[in-house]
Amino acid sequence: MADLLRRVAEQADLAAFRELYQSYGPRVKAYMMRQGADAATAEDLAQETLFTVWRRASLYVEDKGSATTWIFAIARNVRIDRLRREVPWQELPESRCEQPSSETPPDEALSEKERQARVRAALAELPPEQHEVVALSYVDGLSHGEIAARLGLPLGTVKSRMRIAYQRIRAGLEDLR
Amino acid sequence: MTITHHLDDATLMSFAAGALPAALSAVAAAHAAMCPRCRREIAAMERLGGAVMADLSPVAFARPEPAPPMPLPAGAGDLSRPRAAAIAEAEIPRPVAKLFSDTLDAVAWRWLGPGVWDHPLPLTGAGKLRLLKVAPGHGIPEHGHGGAELTLVLRGAFQDETGRYARGDVADLDETVAHQPIVTDAGGACICLVGSETPERFHGLVARQWQRVRRF
């Protein structure tokens, strides 16, 4: 996928973009629907996300994150902008010189592809109660308070499950160093 | 600037997920702009978002694929952002700069009680965002009532049982922690960016702050 993105960035390669569009678009649409958009709006937002990918492909730097992670961040920002939550956001870098140079995560010995695979594996191995809070946060876009209300749990329990889930995922990455 | 007080992992995750209420997200983004450590964590947490999205079952597009978009000329489209020239970029973190019309020195403060002022910032999302200014020798009023709250120091410093908070430090304390922050530095007032999840009731608050700050 990073390869497709590089072809888009370097050669404005439309065939590569079409592949990206077909493989990511329906997932981004699914994400937007889980975030509360109806099917037609979700499709608009997914399209907007992929067009943003097209316009910004030259800013993608492979060793800073996988293509999937980068597209997730764009989808999340499009969702925040368009679903009118007006959340001030940490802007994505607008040029290469704004790319953080000393911020490679500590597991830098791994290739980005390996890291993404490890994260997915660690995610799949989370105990159900931790996986649940991660999904409600990332996929459904619920705040800690909303998750607590939905699950009938104290706020502190929701937060500690989030923290433990993240520590496990981190540990999964650090094993490989 | 050495930052010693960071955002909690649970707060960072919610931020990376795009699920933090607007007022808290504003403070988190402002802190992240000042803090390489938290930016690093957010990058790792976004990776988790990528993994979660990749695991979703795709929903096929209903409409035919649109005509391929043409590349935009450099600097066109949504890549350019108008910036207010008057903003003191060094002091006001970039993610919240658009909420300010002027520098920190020109804020129109609202008096809340002896040594305590605030200034609400415009934000239409969930929660309440404001600046708080506290003079040396005065306490920072307790304002959250059950909801989450983030306090980022923009100028000066305050001190409480958990340590000293200077520029860039953020107080992301569990609701159960009772603390009594006070501005001790003789150097000047402490100005903080405060985001809270629950809207506050200001009239009752002023009276309570009177009682609180008079103790110092």
Can you spell out the DSSP letters for B38-71?
Answer: HHHHHHHHHHHHHHHHHTSPP---SSPPPPPPPP
Can you name the residues that pair with B110 across neighbouring β-strands? B118
Contact (CB, 8 A) for B16 and B49: yes
A residues 2-41 near B, CB within 8 Å? 12, 14, 17-18, 21-22, 25-31, 33-34, 39-40
User: For residues B132 and B116, is the Cβ–Cβ distance under 8 A?
Assistant: yes
Judged by DSSP in three states, B15 sits in helix
Between chains, do B56 and A34 touch, taking CB under 8 Å as contact?
yes
Which of B81, B79, B121 shows the shortest CA–CA distance to B100? B121
Average pLDDT score, chain A: 81
Percent with pLDDT over 70 in chain B: 75
Global pTM?
0.83
Is the CB of A120 less than 8 angstroms away from the CB of B58? no
Give the residue carrying structure tokens 């600046």: B131
C-alpha–C-alpha distance, residues A118 and B158, integer Å: 41
Banded model confidence at residue B156, pLDDT cuts 50, 70, 90: very high
Collect all residues of chain A within an 8 Å Cβ-Cβ radius of residue B9: 162-163, 166-167
Instruction: Dump pLDDT digits (tens) for A68-85.
Output: 888 999 999 998 887 654
CB contact under 8 A, B61 and A25: yes
pLDDT of A174 above 80: no
Q: What is the DSSP string of B147-193?
A: S-EEEEEEESEEEETTEEEETT-EE---TT-----B---TT--EEEE
The first and second tokens of residue B160, run together, are 């409480």
- Position B152 in a domain: yes
Question: Of residues B65 and A117, which shows the higher confidence score?
Answer: A117
The neighbour count for residue B50, using CB atoms within 10 Å, is 23
Chain A partners within 8 Å of B94 (Cβ): 91
Asked if residue B97 belongs to a domain, the reply is: yes
Interface of B with A in 106-135 (CB under 8 A): 123-126
What does the DSSP 8-state code read for residue B88?
Answer: -
User: What is the span of the domain harbouring residue B25?
Assistant: 9-55+93-213
Closest residue in B to A93 (Cα–Cα): B79
Look-up of token digits 């005509």:
B67
Q: Is B98 on the interface with A (CB under 8 A)?
A: yes
pLDDT cut 90: percent of chain B above it: 44
Torsion of CA B133, B139, B145, B147, to 10 degrees: 60
- Choose the closest CB to A30 out of B57, B65, B176: B57
Measure in Å the smallest separation between the Cα of A140 and chain B Cα atoms.
8
Phi, then psi, of A111 in degrees rounded to 5: -75, 160
* Predicted local confidence at residue B71, as pLDDT: 55
Contact B25 A88 (CB under 8 A): yes
pLDDT of residue B120: 93
pLDDT at B57 over 50: yes
Check if the interface score ipTM surpasses 0.90.
no
Nearest to A76 among B18, B33, B59 (CB): B18
- For residue A61, is it left (φ>0), alpha (ψ between -120 and 50) or beta? beta
C-alpha span between B18 and A140 (Å, rounded): 10
In a domain, B67, yes or no: no
Instruction: Please give the average per-residue pLDDT across B134-163, as a whole number.
Output: 84
Q: Does residue B71 sit within a domain?
A: no
Half-sphere exposure of A41 (CA within 13 A, CB side): 13
Instruction: Answer whether B35's CB lies under 8 Å from B169's CB.
Output: no
Structural domains in chain A, CATH included, are: 2-91 (1.10.1740.10), 112-174 (1.10.10.10)
Q: Is residue B77 a part of any domain in this protein? A: no
3-state secondary structure labels for all residues of chain A: CHHHHHHHHHHCCHHHHHHHHHHHHHHHHHHHHHCCCCHHHHHHHHHHHHHHHHHHHHHCCHHHCCHHHHHHHHHHHHHHHHCCCCCCCCCCCCCHHHCCCCCCCCCCCCCHHHHHHHHHHHHHCCCHHHHHHHHHHHCCCCCHHHHHHHHCCCHHHHHHHHHHHHHHHHHHHHCCC
Per the domain annotation, does B62 fall within a domain? no
Angle, in degrees to the nearest 10, between helices B22-34 and B36-54 = 120
Report the CATH number that the domain containing residue B200 is assigned in CATH.
Answer: 2.60.120.10
**The two three-digit tokens of residue B62, written as one number:** 């209903």
User: Which has the higher per-residue pLDDT, B67 or A144?
Assistant: A144
Give residue for tokens 């708080």: B132
Residue with the two structure tokens 């509360």: A36
- In total, how many domains does chain B have? 1
Tabulate helix, strand, coil % of chain B (nearest 5). Answer: 30, 20, 50
The half-sphere exposure of B18 on its side-chain side, counting CA atoms within 13 A, is: 28
B208 to chain A nearest CA, in Å?
26
CA distance B199 to chain A (A): 14
Tell me, yes or no, whether B189 lies in a domain.
Answer: yes
Q: Does A116 touch chain B (CB under 8 A)?
A: yes
Tell me if B4 is assigned to some domain: no
Listed by number, the residues of chain B in 36-75 with a beta carbon closer than 8 Å to a beta carbon of chain A are 36, 39-40, 42-63, 65-66, 68-69, 71-72
Instruction: Answer positive or negative: Cα dihedral of A158, A159, A160, A165.
Output: positive
Asked whether the beta carbons of B95 and B28 are under 8 A apart, the reply is no
pLDDT digits (tens, 9 = 90+) for A107-142: 555 677 788 888 889 999 999 999 999 999 999 999
